């Protein structure tokens, strides 16, 4: 296991410029070499030049998703350790990220310390940040949100196909997806 003072190369991929830049500054202050990309295509181009030790990947970005990027990064270099970070986390997407090869999953907001803790732990297990105490029953709204995300994942992000399977109009589904996840209890 690495110590907190060991430097590492980290690819940081997030479409939120402010978040990406602040996290990059915080990681650089801790003596890590950070490469930034605002989307999956840009990240793949950067990694083709030189592969990082670690990648912190946002799940939802315009264009290709973080799940697609996870697959691509691991095709380029199987040794890249990937942490998926998202504000739209669900158990289904966390499991899918791990199935594809990600070593960890954190729900936003996650502090720099939480992210580094996940990196320092060498991803011994999947980490899903949640304020929900174990044993609580999710609300109906949260269960619906989980189900919608699971169906969307099975449709590989195809909104029209997912809307048909869910019996919703495409625009209704898009509005539901644009909202933050409802509280689970």
Q: What is the CATH number of the domain that holds 155?
A: 1.10.10.60
Residues 54 and 84 grouped into a single domain? yes
Binning pLDDT at 50, 70 and 90, where does residue 126 land?
A: very low
145, 150, 153, 159 alpha-carbon torsion, rounded to 10°: -50
Q: Assess if residue 78 is contained within a domain.
A: yes
Domain carrying residue 38: 9-120
Rounded-to-integer distance, Cα 88 and Cα 181, Å: 7
Q: Indicate whether this model's pTM tops 0.95.
A: no
25 in Cβ contact with 32 (< 8 Å): no
Residues 109 and 144 grouped into a single domain? no
Residues 154 and 114 grouped into a single domain? no
Residues 98 and 168 grouped into a single domain? no
Question: How many structural domains is the chain composed of?
Answer: 2
For 21-57, how does the pLDDT look when each residue is reduced to its tens digit (9 = 90+)?
999 999 999 999 999 999 999 999 999 999 999 999 9
Higher pLDDT, 156 or 27: 27
Higher pLDDT, 2 or 35: 35
61 in Cβ contact with 20 (< 8 Å): no
Higher pLDDT, 154 or 182: 154
């Amino acid at each position: 296991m690495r110590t907190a003072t060991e430097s590492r190369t980290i690819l940081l991929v997030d479409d939120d410029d402010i978040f990406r830049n602040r996290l990059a500054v915080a990681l650089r202050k801790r003596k890590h070499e950070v490469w930034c990309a605002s989307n999956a295509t840009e990240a793949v181009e950067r990694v083709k030049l030189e592969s990082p030790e670690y990648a912190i990947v946002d799940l939802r970005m315009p264009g290709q998703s973080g799940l697609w990027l996870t697959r691509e990064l691991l095709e380029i270099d199987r040794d890249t350790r990937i942490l998926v970070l998202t504000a739209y986390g669900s158990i289904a997407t966390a499991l899918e990220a791990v199935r594809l090869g990600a070593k960890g999953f954190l729900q936003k907001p996650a502090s720099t310390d939480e992210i580094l803790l996940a990196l320092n732990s060498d991803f011994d297990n999947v980490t899903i940040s949640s304020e929900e105490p174990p044993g609580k029953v999710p609300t109906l709204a949260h269960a619906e949100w989980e189900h919608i995300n699971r169906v969307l994942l099975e449709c590989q992000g195809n909104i029209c196909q997912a809307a048909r399977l869910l019996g919703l109009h495409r625009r209704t589904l898009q509005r539901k997806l644009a909202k933050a996840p409802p509280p689970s209890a």
